[in-house]
C-alpha cells in the first residue's frame, strides 16, 4: 500500500486490518521499518484487541481476548505505551519513539496523527476525554486533558498542556496551552 494521509481514512473505513496496513505504510513512509518500533507493535496489539471489541463474535473470541490482554499488559509494562482498546484510533497513527504514552478509553484520535514520546491523552479535572481530529501532531511531553477538541491539522508543541479547545490548523504551546494561530 502506498500511504496517502488525505485518503487513508476513506480507504480503511471501519476495518482494523486496513487500519493496521495504513499504520505500517505510514511508518515506512516516515523512514521506519515498523517492525523494529515499539510504537508499531503497540498499534498491532491495539488493532487486534480493537477488532475483537468490534466483532460480533466476541464470546467465541474470549480465549484470544484474554491472551491479547495478557500480552498487552506485559508489553505496556515493558514499553510504557498504553493504547486502550476502547478508544477509537484512526488509521495511519505514527508513534516514532517509545513511551510513556497513555490514551484514555473515552478519547478518540482521527486519521493520520502522530504521537511523540511521553504523551498523555486522558481525563482531566472535568468529566470527559479529548477528541482529536485528523492530521494532528502531538509533540514530546505534551498532555491533552479533559473534554477538549483538537481540530484537524492542529499541532501541539512539546511540553504543552492542553486544557481548552485547539482550532483546526492552529499550533498550541505553553502551560496551559494557547493557540498561536493557523499555519
Residue 42: is it exposed, middle or buried by C-beta count within 10 angstroms (0-12/13-18/19+)?
buried
Tell me whether residue 97 is one of the annotated catalytic residues: yes
Return the C-alpha cell found at 70: 495478557
31: left (phi over 0), alpha (psi -120 to 50) or beta: left
Q: What's the number of CA atoms in the CB half-sphere (13 Å) around residue 141?
A: 6
Query: What percentage of the chain's residues is helix, strand, coil (to nearest 5)?
Result: 30, 20, 50
Catalytic-role residue among 97, 104, 116, 141: 97
Structure-block grid coordinates of residue 168:
483546526
Minimal CA–CA distance to 133: which of 97, 175, 162?
A: 162
Residues in CB range of 66: below 8 A, 6 or more apart = none
Return the active site residues: 97
Amino acid at each position: 500500500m502506498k500511504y496517502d494521509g488525505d485518503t487513508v481514512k476513506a480507504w480503511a473505513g471501519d476495518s482494523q486490518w486496513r487500519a493496521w496496513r495504513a499504520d505500517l505504510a505510514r511508518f515506512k513512509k516516515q523512514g521506519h521499518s515498523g517492525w523494529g518500533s515499539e510504537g508499531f507493535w503497540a498499534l498491532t496489539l491495539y488493532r487486534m484487541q480493537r477488532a475483537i471489541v468490534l466483532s460480533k463474535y466476541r464470546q467465541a473470541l474470549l480465549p484470544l481476548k484474554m491472551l491479547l490482554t495478557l500480552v498487552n499488559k506485559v508489553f505496556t509494562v515493558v514499553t510504557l505505551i498504553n493504547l486502550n482498546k476502547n478508544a477509537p484510533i484512526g488509521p495511519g497513527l505514527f508513534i516514532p519513539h517509545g513511551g510513556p504514552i497513555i490514551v484514555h478509553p473515552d478519547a478518540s484520535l482521527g486519521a493520520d496523527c502522530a504521537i511523540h514520546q511521553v504523551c498523555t491523552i486522558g481525563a482531566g479535572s472535568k468529566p470527559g476525554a479529548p477528541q482529536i481530529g485528523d492530521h494532528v501532531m502531538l509533540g514530546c511531553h505534551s498532555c491533552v486533558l479533559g473534554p477538549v477538541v483538537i481540530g484537524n491539522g492542529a499541532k501541539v508543541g512539546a511540553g504543552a498542556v492542553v486544557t481548552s479547545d485547539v482550532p483546526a490548523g492552529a499550533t498550541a504551546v505553553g502551560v496551559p496551552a494557547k493557540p498561536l494561530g493557523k499555519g
